Amino acid sequence: MVPAFRLLLPVALSCFTLHAESASPGLRLGLLTGAAETLPGPLVTALREETSRLLPLPGLEIHWRDLEGRSGKETFDHLIIVRFHGSCSPFTPARAVLPPGPLGITHISDGQILPFIEANCAQLTSAARRLRRVPFRLDHESLGRALARVVAHEIYHVLSDSGRHDRHGLSKAALTPADLFLPGGGFEPAALNRIAERLALPPASQLVSTMP
Ligand SMILES: [Zn+2]
């Protein structure tokens, strides 16, 4: 039986929050990562491309920025801090497969979802080792795409301001290794609609799907 990995139960945590800055034409989403989180270039490219593919919302611009090097003059409508834990390298020496644990976390405080999400690379590489029944190679690209699926799930919680999970798609409460590493997949229209409604964007029925 392929184990499912728990994703994203929000945890209560007293934390800082970021205030939305002045609005600009179009909806600018800033994803801020720490300077110390130097990920391999091919992994970063795959992470960013897959994140954009998973969130095909017209009018939503996704901008990745270095948290510490960010210009104070640049403005965003929504800001989310993204942190990565564990080694994000596909070439990390294999260790014992970890017990299934959270792949990602969205923080909440006093019942309010905060724009502060985390993804666990160690759990991702452990999940990849459980994917044995199909031809699969863990490399920068596949790890970057899997990381994007965890990050996109957490972004869904923040942008929709909802802790809701669905039975299908990327908004499920738990993802299998196949969900994470095999090609295709994405959010169901209902989940994208929650984001669109919250952000006053066109509904998912008007979206052109980019999912294979
Ligand atoms: Zn979740």
How much distance in Å is there from the Cα of 188 to the middle of ligand 1? 14
Whether residue 49 has pLDDT greater than 70: yes
Q: Tell me, yes or no, whether 183 lies in a domain.
A: yes
pLDDT at res. 47: 96
Q: Residue 6: what are its φ and ψ, rounded to 5°?
A: -70, 135
Give me the pLDDT at residue 206, please: 53
Inform me whether the pLDDT recorded for 15 exceeds 60. Answer: no
pLDDT tens for 130-155 read 776 667 788 999 999 999 999 999 99
Token pair in block for residue 75: 């403005």
3-state class (DSSP) for residue 93: coil
Task: Give 205's pLDDT tier (boundaries 50, 70, 90).
Answer: low
Looking at residue 23, its pLDDT comes to 39
Q: What are phi and psi of 11, to 5 degrees?
A: -115, 140
Q: What's the gap in Å between 44 CA and the centre of ligand 1?
A: 23
**CATH (domain of 22):** 3.40.390
Domain for residue 211, yes or no? no
Closest listed residue to residue 175, CA positions, set 109, 119, 112, 135: 119
- At residue 26, the pLDDT reads 76
Q: Is the pLDDT of residue 9 over 80?
A: no
Q: Is residue 152 part of a domain?
A: yes
The CA 187 to ligand 1 mean position distance, Å, reads 12
Quick one: average pLDDT of 6-24?
A: 38
Residue 134 lies in a domain: yes
- The alpha carbon of 13 and the centre of ligand 1 are apart by a number of angstroms equal to 16
How distant, in Å, are the alpha carbons of 79, 130, 142, 188 from that of 124? 25, 10, 11, 22
Closest CA to 146 of 174, 118, 171, 179: 179
Cα 72 to middle of ligand 1, angstroms:
31
Could you give the number of structural domains in the chain? Answer: 1
Q: How confident is the model at residue 5 (pLDDT cuts 50, 70, 90)?
A: low
212 domain residue, yes or no? no
CA of 74 to the centre of ligand 1 (A): 30
Distance 8 CA to ligand 1 centre (A): 4
Ramachandran angles phi, psi of 184, nearest 5°: 85, -165
**Ligand 1 center to residue 111 CA distance, Å?**
15
* Structure tokens belonging to residue 60: 């939503």
Ligand 1 midpoint to CA 73 (Å): 33
Q: Report CA-CA distances (Å) from 95 to 72, 99, 122.
A: 42, 12, 10
In a domain, 43, yes or no: yes
Average pLDDT over residues 84-105: 80
Residue 161 lies in a domain: yes
Residue tagged 């990995």 (tokens): 5
Q: Which domain holds residue 91?
A: 5-206
Rounded CA gap, 28 and 43, in Å? 23
Checking if the pLDDT of 95 tops 80, the result is no
Residue 210 banded pLDDT, cuts 50, 70, 90: very low
Portion of the chain with pLDDT greater than 70, in percent = 78
